[in-house]
Amino acid sequence: MSWIPHLVAELGMSFGISLSQLIVDNPEPLLSGISELDESLNVGFQSRSIYEIYGPPGIGKTKFGIQLVNNGLSRNSGQDHVLWIETHRCIPWNLVKNEEEEEEEDKIKRFSKVRLNKFTQLLIFFQNLLKEERDPYQLIIIDGFSQTICDHIQILRNRGMDEKQIHNVKCNHLILLFTWMTKYTHSKRSTIILLDDCMNTSYQQLDLHSFEDDFEMVDDGSNFFVRSTMSNNNNNNNNGSTATSFSSSPPSASSRDRAFGGRGRRRNIQVLKSALVANSAMGAKDFKWEIFLKCRIGFFWNWKEETLRADNFSKTHRRQFDRCRLAIVFDPHDERAKTLSDSRERGRKRGIDQVDMQNKIIKFDYNTEEGVFESVNNASVPLLLSFKRPSAMTSTPTMESTSQCSSTVQHIPDDQATTAMEWEMDEIVHDSEEE
């Protein structure tokens, strides 16, 4: 039945899995080792799919990539071939865990790398890789993929590409590259994982033409931040159902109110986004290429315990400063987005209010002793991802309003409550944090 994926590739793009494809024997799923993440991905990373993993520096994207390589080389009774595409940063493959020498020898024979740091190199590479008769790579990891895209955009801008066109060009070029990647993953039943950087942006899905006018420099001396200067003069209710004029109306009431502090006041809120989105070619049509990605997974830092409510915090006097990592799974194929009939509206929903969409949040951390990422106590924790509704935020927050902020009520186990009491007796709070 091996002709089927070929056929699919020949027919061009095909999204969603057809029945005939389901019949084809699937390889073992690629497990990340973070059990809850694997669960939320429907038993690990799937073949015939492209995933994006992005996060701030130091969160462990590359290390996670290496972990996937290790798992990939071990699965399917050790038959798989893995390819690591470096862009600028060299693969730190001394991190590849070597339990036994023999096993390592075997693994290294199936682990290739290549250095590609230009957009056209990537494009030509995937075009040729598809044609060639060589052992297929069941797993391909591209470390620093977003940087090649950002560089590509910057080159085109420097070469005089029209600023108004740049977003469209980015989308088209990404679609082109993702099409070839998809052809490859479908015909070779492989998985491609993009490890991407994060950038901060205050861009809130505005009309492209007024882009430059909507921002000003943040005077922090570094000359690297911009802030939105958009005035809140159009208050037309644009809450999904009433699709109004596309041009300057903000994407949704919730994000607008957050950005403007509810009452027409502007605030400079910088959000971290994948550098594929937050680059110098931002715009409204990112959904066009996002659908090529099975999932986008954001890695972020957070506190391990939910001690974040300040009122509670002062009562307990306990300092639990343990941090952990979060994996937030964004699904570009979200059901709610699909039900929206207006495609433009859909794009807007997808592109910007991702945080409003259904997503899954997994806590995980690095186990230094084992040298692996694994999930940590994943009691469901209320986390603020969606934008605050204006009603919950008044200028003088009361206890009530704060408890509205947290979607569930903090529950302190009894034994902790006792210790909290004891702590209160103590005037000076000693803690692990030292200077």
Residues in region 127-146 near other proteins by CB under 8 A:
128
382 near other proteins, rule: CB under 8 A: no
| Near other proteins in 8-47, by CB under 8 A | none
52 near other proteins, rule: CB under 8 A: no
Which lies closer to other proteins via its Cβ, residue 341 or residue 368?
368
**CB neighbours of 115 closer than 8 A, spacing ≥ 6?**
85, 86, 87
Window of 1-9, 23-31, 58-66, 336-344 that interacts with other proteins by CB under 8 A: 58-66
Q: What does the alpha-carbon distance between residue 65 and residue 193 come to, in Å, rounded to a whole number?
A: 8
Minimum separation from the CB atom of position 274 to other proteins (A): 11
301 near other proteins, rule: CB under 8 A: yes
**CB neighbours of 297 closer than 8 A, spacing ≥ 6?**
37, 51, 52, 53, 54, 327, 328, 329, 330
Contact 232, 267 (CB under 8 A): no
Minimum separation from the CB atom of position 268 to other proteins (A): 9
**Selected binder of other proteins within 168, 270, 378, 403 (CB under 8 A):** 270
Q: How many CA atoms lie within 13 A of 38 on its CB side?
A: 15
Contact 83, 69 (CB under 8 A): no
**Selected binder of other proteins within 248, 388, 403, 410 (CB under 8 A):** 388
Window of 30-38, 221-229, 243-251, 407-415 that interacts with other proteins by CB under 8 A: 221-229
Minimum separation from the CB atom of position 14 to other proteins (A): 20
Minimum separation from the CB atom of position 88 to other proteins (A): 4
Q: Among residues 52, 77, 87, 54, which one has the least CA distance to residue 292?
A: 52
Q: Is 58 left (phi over 0), alpha (psi -120 to 50) or beta?
A: left
Minimum separation from the CB atom of position 110 to other proteins (A): 8
Cβ contacts of 12-21, under 8 Å, gap ≥ 24:
12/179, 13/179, 13/182, 14/186, 15/291, 17/48, 21/48
What is the token pair recorded at 54? 């992005």
222 near other proteins, rule: CB under 8 A: yes
Which lies closer to other proteins via its Cβ, residue 35 or residue 147?
147
- The 234-263 contact track toward other proteins, x by CB under 8 A, reads ------------------------x--xxx
Window of 17-25, 241-249, 301-309, 342-350 that interacts with other proteins by CB under 8 A: 301-309
| Near other proteins in 159-178, by CB under 8 A | 159-163, 165, 169, 173, 176
Which lies closer to other proteins via its Cβ, residue 159 or residue 411?
159
The residue whose two tokens read 């699965």 is 75
At 305, give phi and psi (nearest 5°).
Answer: -100, 150
Minimum separation from the CB atom of position 292 to other proteins (A): 16
Minimum separation from the CB atom of position 28 to other proteins (A): 23
Q: List the beta bridge partners of residue 84.
A: 113, 141
Which lies closer to other proteins via its Cβ, residue 57 or residue 413?
57
| Near other proteins in 324-343, by CB under 8 A | 326, 328
What is the token pair recorded at 143? 């470390």
Q: List the beta bridge partners of residue 96.
A: none
Q: What does the alpha-carbon distance between residue 329 and residue 53 come to, in Å, rounded to a whole number?
A: 9
Q: How many residues bind other proteins (CB under 8 A)?
A: 117
355 near other proteins, rule: CB under 8 A: yes
Minimum separation from the CB atom of position 391 to other proteins (A): 13
Q: Among residues 293, 376, 304, 366, which one has the least CA distance to residue 329?
A: 293
Q: What is the 3-state secondary structure (H, E, C) of 300-367?
A: EEEECCCCCCHHHHHHHCCCCCCEEEEEEEECCCCHHHHHCCCHHHHHHHHHCHHHHCCEEEEEEEEE
381 near other proteins, rule: CB under 8 A: no
What is the token pair recorded at 347? 């794009």
| Near other proteins in 306-325, by CB under 8 A | 307-308, 310-311, 313-314, 317, 319, 321, 323
**Residue 71, burial from CB neighbour count under 10 angstroms (0-12, 13-18, 19+):** buried
| Near other proteins in 80-109, by CB under 8 A | 83, 86, 88-95, 108-109
| Near other proteins in 406-435, by CB under 8 A | 427-431, 433, 435
Minimum separation from the CB atom of position 73 to other proteins (A): 11
